[in-house]
Amino acid sequence: MDLDLKMKKKRSLILMSEDDCGRKRRKQLESSKYGDGMAWLRGCLIGKGCFGSVYLASLKKPKSKYSSYPPIMAVKSAEVSVSSSIQKEREVLNNLRGCRNVIRCFGEEITNGQNGQMVYNLLLEYGSGGTLADLIKKSGRNGLPESDVKRHTRSILRGLRHIHRCGYVHCDLKPENILLVSTSVANQFTAKIGDLGLAKWAKQTKKGKLIPYWRGTPMYFSPEVVIDGMQEAPSDIWAIGCIVLEMLTANPPWDPKIDANCDEIITRIGELNESPLILSTLSSEAKSFLKGCFSRKSIYRWTAEMLLAHPFLEGIDDVDDDDDDNNVEDTGDVFDINAISSLITSEDHETENEDDEMIRLSSFSDGFYCWSEEDVDGTETDINSCYSVEEETSTTAPLNGVHQYPVTFTISSGV
């Protein structure tokens, strides 16, 4: 009997070893199919969605004193023919430079894939702490400590204030799109807004278009988005309220039981005039803050500037160093190795092209910044941990989405 048990365990270990080898092999194939850059090597897959895949990337010469890139980056990639959303994100990020709470863009590059296809790559700041959604999931049923909620909320609002000041609306704020980037303080992370592929110019109109569009994730839609198809700065504030509520309770803003039923969410927001439930167990400051976000009439909803002055955010240790966005040295944008003005060729993106007409275009600066050996040494742990991560940590759900209504939605827990 004992012998049979030992044999079963041995066979189980062999099968597990074979599975590990298979996973590693699939990772290698996945990371190599899009090719490496001129100065960087493509690493493991860390995210995947309908608009592209995100990989870890490390420099070929990480200790070079004259490197124009950080030692480790995240690279969002897609074949050129279907890369219009990522290219649009690059244009938006280019116009949002100068804020430490918006994810930084280091440039763009075209690589050649295994099958000869041209691949568009967007080089982005790497969030070694994962996403806010990951952090909430790890918190269990009780949610994050209120002190952490306050700190992350302030960071997100600083980024959103900058986005709104620059004339943009994010349109897809959710925990999956908030990245946690390491700071100079050990084991501390700063929340930064990412995934701006669906961002729109706030004053943009669709003349002659009778069918409006819903951008983003229905779980975080505001009433005016559902009822009128309007996505302006106040709709981002509603989403902020959803994110804060989710951090505090570890539950989605709506009933977890309807997480996958988008039609019911749309009905409750639009037809039943409901708002997310604010629990009585929350602190009075938290409840007041959430009420400022969840006003059903957008005209009465608080702005990012007003929320930053709310008592809920008082008395927080400042990991972000300075609150003045204009004093942030813009060293994150460098020259593009294969600069291109536009690679959008698909007729399927006609409406996106119209969006782009309203975007203020400018080019990346040609300035350089250097990375010291201390910077390199500080990222080696992140690189090693990512390359040893199991395949299950890679998400395969959509990064974001654009919806035309009427439509049946599908909610996922993806990035």
Given CA atoms 413, 170, 251, 296 in this order, what sign does their dihedral have? negative
Q: Where are the beta strands (DSSP E) in 152-309?
A: 168-169, 178-182, 189-193, 200-201, 213-215
Q: How many whole angstroms separate alpha carbon 305 and alpha carbon 282?
A: 23
Q: Are strands 105-112 and 40-49 parallel, antiparallel or unpaired?
A: unpaired
Find residue 179's DSSP bridge partners: 131, 192
Catalytic status, residue 172: yes
Do residues 69 and 59 lie in contact, with contact meaning Cβ atoms separated by under 8 Å?
A: yes
CA–CA distance, 257 with 301 (Å, rounded to integer): 28
Residues 44 and 388 sit within 8 Å (Cβ to Cβ): no
**Distances in Å between the alpha carbon of 173 and those of 41, 44, 199, 339, 364?**
30, 26, 10, 29, 25
Q: Which two tokens stand for residue 213?
A: 């569009």
Which residue in 383, 368, 398 sits closest to 107, CA to CA? 368
Catalytic residue among 134, 172, 236, 382: 172
Give per-residue burial for 47-75: e unless 16+ CB within 10 Å, then b. bbbebbbbbbbbbeebeeeebbbbbbbbb
Specify whether the CB–CB gap between 312 and 247 falls below 8 A. no
Nearest-angstrom CA–CA distance, 130 and 49: 16
- List active site positions: 172
